[in-house]
Amino acid sequence: MLAFQKSNAQEKPNIVFILSDDAGYADFGFQGSKDFKTPNLDALAKSGVKFTQAYVSAAVCGPSRAGLLTGMYQQKFGYEENNVPGYMSHSGLTGDDMGLPLDQKTVADYLQKLGYKTAVFGKWHMGNADRFHPTKRGFDEFYGFRGGARSYYEITKHSKKQRKEDRLERGFEGYKESEIYLTDALAKETMSFMERNKENPFFVYLSFNAVHTPMEARADDLKTIPSHLTGKRRTLAAMTIGLDRACGQVLQKIKDLGIEKNTLIVFANDNGGPSDSNESNNHPLSGTKANHLEGGIRIPFLMSWKGQLKKSTTFNKPVSTLDLLPTFVTLAGGDVSKIKGLDGVDLLPYLKKGNKGKPHETLYWKKEARGAIRHNDYKLIRFPDRPAELYNIEDDISEVNDLASVHPEKVKELYKMLFDWELTLERPLWQLKRVYEGKAAVRMDKYRKPKINN
């Protein structure tokens, strides 16, 4: 049980967490893009802190979200793979039975007990079965879809896919499709929730499916894209305009409601951009979604709180989306020392109180036989089919200079640390029928050289 502070509930800060889906590391203005126009998110970056070394706990959507929602490495409770049809489990689970284990508390569970109104808008991807539903995992309100991806437009009886988890849902089993572009609809619902709860502390988890496939953009946004961008890259740029516009509407609503000084705003992405399926740009990082190079696990990450966090600042030490739960719960008046097994830390002391230490000296990743560890400046990547690779991330952000043969003792040290960590994990609750997942099974040499694609 969390300890409560004695402060008046209405004095507690609101928390708005915005998550984009499959965006490229460099596909935002505040990350250096010249072609992708994101004025609203650029303004958010200038209003607070930009993290230059922010990581997710997994290189694919589902496990990454399980980690950020629980504040602990998701492999600790067996959530190592995406929960999608085509998987199998050692206990006979089917696709719909795969989800965030019910014995795991979410950040919404903790905030709800601390007096917050909680809501998730958009992609859930934490289990399709009713028992995994957001309204049973700490969220008072839900408007979105249970699965991992769906059309940005109305799904009708004539649509090719009629899966329950793809359908747009309000609350529990309140199915009704939106008549407007889904990215816009999610922003609209978020603004309505904030309006209705402006007198109470609230937590918003705005979980966009943008810019995940399918590649569908508004026609008017496509018309604004420069002619030198073509194909998927052109569509992605237009979808990013839609994402930025929706974020801008939510941010403006916070200002209009007069709650800007009492609202912490966080923007992040769920994993690296999949440069094959949507032609995202992860420059200067090597790698892509589903692998453990930096392009698969390092993300854009912003935090803003008017009057509390200094404007136009950068934080250059490693942080993780595992840090969201302890940051949010502590801010809400909870005592995270009472929560067993947390791997994240409260970030605000490092930003507000001058804590000069590192939030994390060591971070881990694992998927099947593949794994990675970053310890201080060095990162080891372990493969099932060839020797491990070692990089000095501070000196070599693009991971092009393998130092494994130069520092064999460092390889041995990090290998042992990675193995020791793996001994603390549970067996995966489900696995792919094949040995490795799609592109992740391919040698990563094709992703080695960062793509320059402004």
CATH fold of the domain at 11-360: Alkaline Phosphatase, subunit A (3.40.720)
pLDDT in tens, the chain (454 residues): 343 343 444 589 999 999 999 999 999 999 999 999 999 999 999 999 999 999 999 999 999 999 999 999 999 999 999 987 656 665 666 667 899 999 999 999 999 999 999 999 999 999 999 999 999 999 999 999 999 999 999 998 666 667 889 999 999 999 999 999 999 999 999 999 999 999 999 999 999 999 999 999 999 999 999 999 999 999 999 999 999 999 999 999 999 999 999 999 999 999 999 988 899 999 999 999 999 999 999 999 999 999 999 999 999 999 999 999 999 999 999 999 999 999 999 999 999 877 789 999 999 999 999 999 999 999 999 999 999 999 999 999 999 999 999 999 999 999 999 999 999 999 999 876 543 344 443 334 444 555 555 5
Instruction: Give the pLDDT of residue 72.
Output: 98
Instruction: Give the pLDDT of residue 5.
Output: 40
Where along the chain do its domains lie?
A: 11-360, 363-427
Show contacts of 286-290: CB within 8 Å, 24+ apart. Answer: 286/398, 286/399, 286/400, 286/444, 286/447, 286/448, 286/449, 286/450, 287/399, 287/444, 287/447, 288/439, 288/447, 289/22, 289/59, 289/60, 289/439, 290/59, 290/60, 290/437, 290/438, 290/439, 290/440
Which residues contact residue 221 at a Cβ distance below 8 angstroms, ignoring those fewer than 6 apart? 238, 239, 241, 242
d(CA 208, CA 386): 37
Instruction: Give the pLDDT of residue 201.
Output: 98
Let me know if the fold of 11-360 is the same as that of 363-427: no
Instruction: Give the pLDDT of residue 452.
Output: 52
Instruction: Give the pLDDT of residue 6.
Output: 35
**H or E element, residue 366:** strand 362-367
CATH fold of the domain at 363-427: Arylsulfatase, C-terminal domain (3.30.1120)
Instruction: Give the pLDDT of residue 453.
Output: 55
Strand partners, 205: 17, 120
